[in-house]
Chain A
Amino acid sequence: VIVDLGWVAGTEFVVGLGCSLVMLTVSAVQNRARKRQQPLQARAAEALAAWLAGGKEEPAAALRALPRSQQAEILMSLGSKLDGEAVSRLQQLAAQLGVTGYAQRSLASGRWWARLRAARYFSSLRVVPEGLHRLLQDANSLVRAEAVTIACASRQPEHVEQAALQLFDPPSLARFACQVNLPRAGAVAGQELAKLLANPPGDPLLALRVAGALREPAMTPGALACSHHEQPATRAAAAELLGQLGGPEAIARLQQMLSQDAAPEVQAAAAQALGTLNHWEVCGPLASMLQSPAWQVRYAAACALRKLGPPGELFLRKYADGEAEPSKTMAQFALQAPGLR
């Protein structure tokens, strides 16, 4: 009330009207630019696709008609879908257009979003930039995530080794990128993970989960060591990995975990792993777990018995026909459920 309300209202209407006009103008200009750019973009994309498919005509001229950001976008959209020789040609073209050089310079920028854009460009085109090790230690976790993707795609041991360490970082997108991309690095990542599991610099929970996607026999000693970890979640992940690796040592340890571990989630994971291994000699211990007070253990044991086929089903029938609960209900459900096997 100490100000003139009429003046305030007037200002508001002017601001509202001004913003509306600016927005409408910008929108109209953008629509016009979009209409103008669309044929150019389509022509450049077509020329590029034809060239990659073996055409003679160089697409550089068509791409140069576009702003650099759009050149990069077209190159990236194709780069992420191609492989082998086609990607190499794309990389050469990008270098020729100057897009790669520009992205390389952007990596040194003080603005994290400029580094992020550049890192995304390199990861889409699968080019290893200079100073990847610095990028893997970037303060921004999104930039690190892209660096991890580049490192894993390169399959070079020194880069993969540094990338794998992100698994022990605090939760971030970089850690998840590592989780997703390490399996794509294949045997190199398997070797690095085996080393890390044997001598983990932190809680190996995530490393164990990723290791399951790679299944290198060299991981067995590490997985066995991790199965004694103080955290139940980590022991459960170790049991899962042992179930994927197999072998007499793994089976012996899994049986021990099934009967002796105090945590239900570990017992359940061990039961599931034994079912995966198709080791029918464990039917007896698994069936006894149908009496466990923990639902997840009973369920995992029932699923494992179904997976073991006729020997397991024999035990399930015995419990289903018996009187003791809760094993009776679980065994009956397991026998009726079509999707458990």
Chain B
Amino acid sequence: MPDLSWLETLILIYFLIVNTFYGLVLLAAGSELTREQREIVWDTGWRILGAKTYPRISIVAPAYNEEASVVDAVKALLGHHYPEIEVVVVDDGSKDRTLEVLRENFHLVEVPPIYDKTIKTAELLHLYHSSRYPQLKVVAKANGGKADALNLGLQIAGGDLLCVIDADTLLEPEALLKLLRPFLESDQVVAAGGSICAVNGSEVSPSRVVSPAVPRSFLPGVQTVEYLRAFLLGRLGLNRWGANLIISGAFGLFRRDAVLATGGYAADTVGEDMELVVRLRRHGLDNNGPHEVVFIPDPVAWTEVPTSWKVLGRQRDRWQRGLCDSLWRHAKLALRPRYGAVGWIGYPYQLVVELISPLVEALGWLLLVLSLLFGDVNTPFAIQFLLVAYGYGLVLTVLAIAMEQSCFPRRHKLRDLLWLLWWGLVEPIGFRQFLVYHRLMGIINWFRGKHSWGKMERTGFRKTGA
């Protein structure tokens, strides 16, 4: 055994703790997936379609400069398999032609804005109803950020449940029916979320993913594997213990009354999706009210992932700032018996695994470089350690792919599976270090009080025959 400094020992202990936790999460995810599979076998969600009593769902889709994809996305939302859906698109003061495109395609008619103003938002400029699709409402407002747009949308909406979805996200037709189930099973559920997959490389027609495929280019490819692992292992495993603290901002279903009761989305954070979920859980547990947050792996939302390093870096920087902010605001949750699994598992997981990991990883890389520079390194040990870390990550990735393939085989082609494995193999080399850097920058920027979102660039979906 080589001699290790106290810092190296600390890093090693951290590595062991985190990976033990990953192992436990993997086991929990496996068990959760088995239960889930048993529950959905031969399930016929069609019954609710002819029902006379059901929870009404309002889909709120904030849009900011989404000219390229907003029409397809709204058409997909209107075509969902559910008896009664209200779609509220909130144009958050777009600078491009988002509102014009919506007006032209959906025959919008301006109506007076009647709604209960319980949450303060930026000014509502116009409210439109579609004369062609009675269930569609479009809100034009002054720019105030995503959270502000969501807050206005949830006040305009009239449903019992609120589906929050990014305007450029495509849902599978039965996604809502599947995501509804936790709310029907228990009145303690305040929020439910599904998996998010990268749509890049898949064929879309006209507003549905008709042929899912694994992206062939590097950045979308490695993100596909990353998303798969995060959802099928991380969220599913935490779900088993009732410790979920995140519902993706791209696709989630919430109890509207609970969201209104907690004051809606926080407009002064860039991680408004996580912050809301943490606040909902905390509020529920503090008041002995509904507080459960459920993740279901099967309903899938397809979203475009960044294709440029610059945009990806900005996105991860923002996610990390959002995480820092949510954990800071709700630090009282940590290790308090009254918050149960949230306090003992969910919060510590987010803190130790998600928040601190870039710091420790960066420190590890720095130490390695310094040791190499000064010749003070046990090369065989360093190589073996790196190989162990790489191998462990690889095993987790392969198992996540295997879980997806055995339970929800969306990609039938062997070629796609091989591509997934390839992206799993190359993901830890370069991509991971890039993420570590930007997550680290996110922490630093949070300390410096940076609150901007950064620009996202969309290319639009690849259509069949295009």
Contact surface of A with B, Cβ cutoff 8 Å: 1-2, 5-6, 8-9, 11-13, 15-16, 19-20, 22-24, 26-28, 30-31, 34, 72-73, 76, 80, 112-113, 116-117, 120-121, 123-124, 141-142, 149, 171-173, 176-177, 179-181, 183-184, 209-210, 212-213, 295-296, 299, 330, 332-334, 336-339
Contact B44 A120 (CB under 8 A): yes
B129: Cβ under 8 A from any A Cβ: yes
Bound-complex Cα distance A20 to B47 (A):
39
Bound-complex Cα distance A171 to B41 (A):
22
Contact B185 A299 (CB under 8 A): no
Query: Which parts of B160-195 form the interface with A (CB within 8 Å)?
Result: 181, 184-188
Contact A113 B42 (CB under 8 A): no
Complex contacts, B134 vs chain A, CB 8 Å = 339
B111: Cβ under 8 A from any A Cβ: yes
Complex contacts, A333 vs chain B, CB 8 Å = 112-114
Q: Which residue of chain B is the closest to A113 with respect to CB atoms?
A: B38
Expressed in whole angstroms, the minimum distance between the Cβ of A299 and any Cβ of chain B is 7
Q: Which residue of chain A is the closest to B421 with respect to CB atoms?
A: A20
Residues of B contacting A: mostly: helix
Contact A180 B47 (CB under 8 A): yes
Interface size range of chain B in the complex:
35 or more
Complex contacts, A13 vs chain B, CB 8 Å = 387, 391, 394
Q: Tell me whether A181 and B398 are in contact in the complex, defined as CB-CB below 8 angstroms, given that A172-B186, A299-B114 are known contacts.
A: no
B5: Cβ under 8 A from any A Cβ: no
Bound-complex Cα distance A256 to B225 (A):
62
B401: Cβ under 8 A from any A Cβ: yes
B359: Cβ under 8 A from any A Cβ: no
Contact surface of B with A, Cβ cutoff 8 Å: 1-2, 4, 12, 38-39, 41-44, 46-48, 50-54, 109, 111-114, 116, 129, 134, 181, 184-188, 381, 384-385, 387-388, 390-392, 394-395, 398-399, 401-402, 405-406, 409, 412, 414, 417-418, 421
The listed residue (B12, B46, B391, B394) touching A1 by CB distance below 8 A is B12
Expressed in whole angstroms, the minimum distance between the Cβ of A31 and any Cβ of chain B is 6
Q: Which residue of chain A is the closest to B46 with respect to CB atoms?
A: A80
Complex contacts, A296 vs chain B, CB 8 Å = 116
Bound-complex Cα distance A184 to B387 (A):
62
Contact B414 A31 (CB under 8 A): yes
Contact B53 A213 (CB under 8 A): yes
Contact A213 B52 (CB under 8 A): yes
Q: Which residue of chain B is the closest to A5 with respect to CB atoms?
A: B384
Bound-complex Cα distance A150 to B12 (A):
58
Q: Tell me whether A24 and B4 are in contact in the complex, defined as CB-CB below 8 angstroms, given that A5-B385, A337-B114 are known contacts.
A: no
Q: Tell me whether A20 and B398 are in contact in the complex, defined as CB-CB below 8 angstroms, given that A80-B44, A180-B54 are known contacts.
A: yes
The listed residue (B387, B399, B412) touching A31 by CB distance below 8 A is B412
Contact A337 B12 (CB under 8 A): no
Expressed in whole angstroms, the minimum distance between the Cβ of B291 and any Cβ of chain A is 14
